[in-house]
Amino acid sequence: MSRAFVKDDAGSWGTPGRRFGLPPREDPDFDAAAAAALLEAARDGDTGAGEQATGYYWGEMKLQPHVERILAKARADGDERLAQLAERFLW
How does pLDDT run across 45-87, given as a tens digit for each residue?
999 999 999 999 999 999 999 999 999 999 999 999 999 999 9
Q: Calculate the average pLDDT of the chain.
A: 86
* pLDDT the model gives residue 20: 82
One-letter identity of residue 19: R
* Prediction pTM value: 0.79
Q: Where are the domains of the chain?
A: 25-90
Q: Which of the 8 DSSP states describes residue 25?
A: T
Q: How far apart are CA 59 and CA 49, in angstroms?
A: 15
- E strand map for the chain: none
The answer to whether 74 and 42 are in contact (CB under 8 A) is no
- Whether pLDDT at 30 is above 80: yes
The Cα–Cα gap between 45 and 28 comes to: 27
Rounded distance, CA 34 to CA 39, Å?
Answer: 9
